[in-house]
Structure 1
Amino acid sequence: MERGMAGGLKTVISGIVTLLALFSAVSPGFSQTSSAQLPAAAAPPAQVREMMQLMQTPEVKQWMSAQMAANPAADAATQNQMSVLSGLLQHARRHVSMVSDAAMTLPSQIANASGLFWSEIAANGFARMVAQFLAILLLGAIVESVARYAFRRRRRRLAEMAGMHLTPRVIPALVFATATMLALFSLSWPPLSQSVAIVCVIALIVQRFTICVGGVLVDLIGLARADEEQQGVTVPTMPGRAVALFWYRRCATFVIYFSFGWAAIQSMEPLGFSPSARLFVGYILGIGLLLIAVEAVWSRPHKDEKRGHGISWALTVYFLLLWGLWVTGFNWLLWLGIYMLMLPRVLAVSTIAVKSLRQTEASFLATRRIATVLLDRGVRALIIAFAAIWLGQLLGVGADTMAAGDKMVDKIARGVIGGIVILLAADLLWHVVKAYIDGKLLDSPLDGTATDEEKAKHARIQTLLPIFRNILAVVIAVIAVLMVLSGLGIEIGPLIAGAGVVGVAVGFGAQTIVKDVISGMFYLWDDAFRVGEYIESGSHKGVVEAFSLRSVKLRHHRGPLTTVPFGELGAVKNLNRDWTIDKISLNVKYDTDLVKAKKVIKQIGQTLLENPEFAPHIIETLKMKGVEQFGEFAIEIRLSMMTKPGEQFVIRRNALAMIRNAFSENGIEFAVPTVQVAGDRGAELDAAVARYAEHARAGGEPAA
Structure 2
Amino acid sequence: MVDSSHTGGRRVLGSRFVRGSLWACLFSLTIFLGISGGANAQTAPVPSAADAATPPDKVRQMMQLMQAPEVQTWMASQMKMAPAAAADDGGQMSVLSDLLAHARHHVEMVSDAAMDLPEEVEAADGIVDREIEPTGPGWIAVQGLTLLLIGTLAELLFRAATPRPRIRRTDVEEPAALHHAGANLFYRVIPAIVFAMATIVPLVAFSWPPISQAIAIAVAIALIATRFTISIGRMLVVLVTLPRADGERDISRAKALYWFRRSAVFAIYFAFGWVVIQIMEPLGFSVGSRLFVAYILGIGLFLIAVEAVWSRPTDGARHSTATAWFLTIYFLALWLLWVTGFMLLLWLGIYALLLPKVLRVATMAVRSLHQAEAGFLANRRMATVLLDRGVRAIIIAAAAVWMGRIMGFAADRMAAGDTMVDRITRGAIGGIVILLAADLLWHIVKAYINGKLIDSPLDASASDEEKAKRARLQTLLPIFRNIFAVVIAVIAILMVLSGLGIEIGPLIAGAGVVGVAVGFGAQTIVKDVISGMFYLWDDAFRVGEYIESGSHKGVVEAFSLRSVKLRHHRGPLTTVPFGELGAVKNLNRDWTIDKISLNVTYDTDLVKAKKVVKQIGQQLLDNPDFGPHIIETLKMKGVEQFGEFAIEIRLSMMTKPGEQFVIRRNALAMIRNAFKENGIEFAVPTVQVSGDGRDHEAMAAAARYAAQARAGGEPAA
TM over 0.5: yes
Aligned to 1:94: 105
Distance 2:229 2:243 in 1: 21
- Cα offset for 1:112? 4.2
Code of the aligned partner of 2:337:
L
Aligned to 2:503: 491
What's the counterpart of residue 96 of structure 2? 85
CA distance in 1, matches of 2:236, 2:352: 23
Aligned twin of 1:286: 298
Q: Rate the CA distance shift 1:186–1:611 in 2: closer, same or farther, 3 A.
A: farther
Partner of 1:43: none
Aligned residue for 1:554, secondary structure, equals: strand
Structure 2 match to 1:435:
447
Q: Cα distance 1:440–1:106, how it changes in 2: closer, same or farther (>3 A)?
A: same
**Residue number in structure 1 paired with 2:42:** none
Number of corresponding residues? 604
- TM-aligned CA distance change 1:522 to 1:137, over 3 Å: same
CA distance in 1, matches of 2:314, 2:696: 108
CA deviation vs aligned residue, 1:664-692 (integer Å, no higher than 9, x gap): 1101111111122223243899xxxxxxx
TM-superposition CA deviations, 1:207-243 (whole Å, max 9, x none): 1111112212222344339x97xx5x6xxx5332222
Structure 1 185/449 Cα, relative in aligned 2: closer, same or farther at 3 Å? farther
Counterpart Cα distance in 1 of 2:78 and 2:550: 100
Q: Distance in 2 between matches of 1:430 and 1:306?
A: 41
Q: Does 1:261 align with 2:273?
A: yes
1:165 Cα shift?
3.7
Q: 5+ residue gaps in structure 1? A: 1-31, 41-78, 399-404, 686-704
The offset of 1:275, in angstroms, is 2.8
* Residue of structure 2 equivalent to 1:184: 203
Give the CA deviation at 1:622: 1.2
Q: Secondary structure at the match of 2:632?
A: strand
The reply on whether 1:342 has 2:354 as its aligned counterpart is yes
User: For residues 122-133 of structure 1, what are the structure 2 equivalents within 5 Å?
Assistant: 122-123=133-134, 128-133=139-144
- In structure 2, the CA distance between the partners of 1:34 and 1:291, relative to structure 1 (3 Å rule), is farther
Whole-angstrom CA distance in 2 between matches of 1:294 and 1:161: 36
Once the two structures are superposed, the pairs formed by residues 215-226 of structure 1 within 5 Å of their partners are: 215-224=234-243
- Residues 624 and 639 in structure 1, CA contact (< 8 A), matched pair in contact too: yes
2:49 alignment counterpart? none
Written as runs of structure 1 = structure 2, the 5 A alignment for 1:521-560 is 521-560=533-572
Q: Does 1:420 align with 2:432?
A: yes
Does 1:173 find its partner at 2:180?
Answer: no
Matched residue, 1:401: none
Residue 138 of structure 1: aligned partner: 149
Number of the residue aligned with 2:333: 321
CA contact (8 A) 1:584 1:639 kept: yes
Are 1:621 and 1:641, in contact at CA under 8 Å, matched by a contact in 2? Answer: yes
**Are 1:206 and 2:233 an aligned pair?**
no
Does the aligned pair in 2 maintain the 1:258–1:289 contact within 8 Å?
yes
CA distance 1:504–1:80, shift in 2 (3 Å) = same
The alpha-carbon deviation at position 119 of structure 1 amounts to: 3.8
Tell me the equivalent position of 1:148. Answer: 159
Of 647, 660, 668 in structure 1, the residue corresponding to residue 672 of structure 2 is 660
Aligned to 1:695: none
Identify unmatched segments of 5+ residues in structure 2.
1-71, 81-89, 169-176, 411-416, 698-717
2:653 paired residue number: 641
Residue of structure 2 equivalent to 1:451: 463
The alpha-carbon deviation at position 425 of structure 1 amounts to 2.7
Letter in 1 for 2:683: A
Q: Which amino acid aligns with 1:96?
A: V
Taking the aligned partners of 1:584 and 1:113, their CA distance within structure 2 comes to 109
Aligned amino acid, residue 288 of structure 2: S
The one-letter code of the counterpart of 1:284 is I
Shift of 1:551: 0.9
The 1-side partners of 2:583 and 2:645 are apart by 40
CA distance in 1, matches of 2:394, 2:164: 37
Which ranges of 4 or more aligned residues in structure 1 deviate by more than 6 Å? 32-35, 37-40, 303-307
Amino acid corresponding to residue 384 of structure 1 in structure 2? I
Q: Alignment partner of 2:258: what SS? A: helix
Deviation of 1:471 after TM superposition, in Å, equals 0.6
SS where residue 490 of structure 1 aligns? Answer: coil
Mapped contact 1:554–1:562 kept (Cα < 8 A): yes
CA contact (8 A) 1:165 1:362 kept: no
**Structure 1, residues 440-499: CA drift from partner, whole Å, max 9, x if none?**
112263666533222221111111100001111111111122122223322111010011
Distance 1:338 1:196, change over 3 A: same
Equivalent residues of 2:178, 2:375 under 8 A apart: no
- Equivalent in 606, 618, 625 of residue 630 of structure 2: 618
User: 1:129-170 CA deviation, whole Å, 9 max, x = no partner?
Assistant: 444433332222112112212223555599958745433222
Which deviates the most, 257-266 or 120-129?
120-129
AA aligned opposite 1:393: R
Q: Quick one: distance in 2 between partners of 1:582 and 1:681?
A: 49
3-state DSSP of counterpart to 1:682: coil
Q: Quick one: distance in 2 between partners of 1:177 and 1:569?
A: 69
Structure 1 position 309, deviation (Å): 4.4
The 2-side partners of 1:39 and 1:376 are apart by: 55
Structure 1 partner of 2:484: 472
Instruction: Verify the 8 A CA contact 2:154 2:195 in the aligned structure 1.
Output: yes
* Counterpart in the other structure of 1:12: none
1:526 CA displacement = 1.2
Amino acid at match of 1:144: E
1:315 Cα shift?
Answer: 3.0
C-alpha distance in structure 2 between counterparts of 1:310 and 1:82, whole Å? 39
- One-letter identity of the residue aligned with 1:134: L
| Distance (whole Å) between structure 2 residues aligned to residue 39 and residue 168 of structure 1 | 61
Q: SS of the residue aligned with 1:576? A: coil
Range moving further from structure 2, 490-499 or 443-452: 443-452
Q: Which amino acid aligns with 2:101?
A: Q
Change (3 A) 1:644 1:185: farther
Partner of 1:21: none
Distance 1:428 1:680, change over 3 A: same
- What is the root-mean-square deviation of aligned Cα atoms in Å? 3.4
Distance 1:185 1:33, change over 3 A: same
User: Does the residue aligned with 2:637 lie in a helix, a strand or coil?
Assistant: strand
Letter in 2 for 1:671: A
Which residue is equivalent to 1:194? 213
State how far apart, in whole Å, the 2-side matches of 1:395 and 1:570 are: 62
Q: Are 2:456 and 2:474, in contact at CA under 8 Å, matched by a contact in 1?
A: no
Distance 1:525 1:305 in 2: 58
Identity of aligned residues (%): 72
Distance across 1 between alignment mates of 2:292 and 2:549: 82
Q: Partners of 2:296 and 2:408 in 1: how far apart?
A: 26
What is the rounded CA distance, in whole Å, between the counterparts of 2:458 and 2:641 in structure 1? 45
Classify 1:609/1:185 alpha carbon distance in 2 versus 1 (closer, same or farther; 3 Å): farther
